[in-house]
Structure 1
């Protein structure tokens, strides 16, 4: 039997239902988070819960839970679902109210729903690298909020699926922003380059961990805008996300990046990131070997 969280209580997943006038359903009026679980333990849960709180604050939702209360519920849910390796998906909406674009005039209780899903590390793809395509970034201008308004991301990811690719790399004019579900990095002359965390991209938790890892290992990083031309001329390219970790990109629009295999810095970053996971969650069964 699977369990979920609804309104701060753990219930049977089959009973976790929301009203048709929930504002998340009708307007996408809410935010979400995804936390990775390894060996039954959450990875970077504090960072994810802090980002959730920042997202809710950004759209004027007051969470009726503290981070510690929420963490306790998540630990209990992991245990009840016997989750070893996978994700926790959390969603907070403004709540149920009569349909009106403006916020409800009277207080309504925000709706928290949470469930778990079993997934394994994508080690085969992490060894070989993945293919991507370029597409214009058509999303709104507050991509720093992890909003439920994901139609732009969905349409972009569908383009990748139809092209037989793992991900899209989005751009606004010549400026590369991010993937549909990931942050994008390039490596040039042993310098790691990625878009600064501003309103055009999501401030990725995996991205932030990786920046700390780079600093620890004296690897130079530049957080700045880079262009499509810089992307195409990169020595290495990779994406990061909670589910993909450090994923090499070996092809863009049918053209190989460098020699078309994961580069040495990307491989080293995979190793270092794996070590960070093991510090928090214990030994990983599947190693990335080349």
Structure 2
């Protein structure tokens, strides 16, 4: 069995939910305290044993490439001022086998994955969506590592799922599980993209991490545009599941959705409460703010 060595990070979205900030800035570069969102994804990949990463980007995404490129002027400045810790942080972003491919037209997630076919070749690979972060404070195994371990046991494509409130199923792709083959690993009958909660087959939502066998590329090539006139990855997974098993691995760790304003703010607070340079002041600020908000609520009730 071939090892999982490569990862695709789709990053071609327009980031319209964060306008006007994303008019000229890639949404993947929005910071979580002091680290761009996409850097958490790249670090998760490396911690999971991934050797080569390809980012599928689009127009106005040059800032991502610049972030993972060297900056000799900045590095020389930090070196001359003996700012060794800052220099280390900057140099760590360049010590990565990372490549970039452009998705010329916004044809959907499935098309973005297909764009990287030549890079992947005939190997199993990981797809990591940039809106989903996990284990940001290093309290457990990265989700991608869990998926790769599962793939090594089964040899089958495997995607990550997590239980969500039933009323939230309309926000996700949801699995219809047929059997739990072992604790936390499910055989799947089919996958449903953003179902109405009354039609949702389960509360197990797909959360943006996948391990695929290379056969997914042939399926994607023959997948017709679906919802939104885009090539839907979920449609391709359903087709693949008819010819070879696709498993769902239930993740039970911490997950953060940075794809919307509240989720991004929540992630900043959670990470900030563990960041050595912000945790103490932020904790005190939250306590003070809590007292203030409680007083305001009390005044409104009078």
| Structure with more of its chain in helix, by fraction | 2
| Structure with more of its chain in strand, by fraction | 1
Larger Rg: 2
What TM-score range do you get, normalising by the shorter chain? Answer: under 0.3
In the superposition, the TM-score normalised over structure 1's length comes to: 0.26
In the superposition, the TM-score normalised over structure 2's length comes to: 0.26
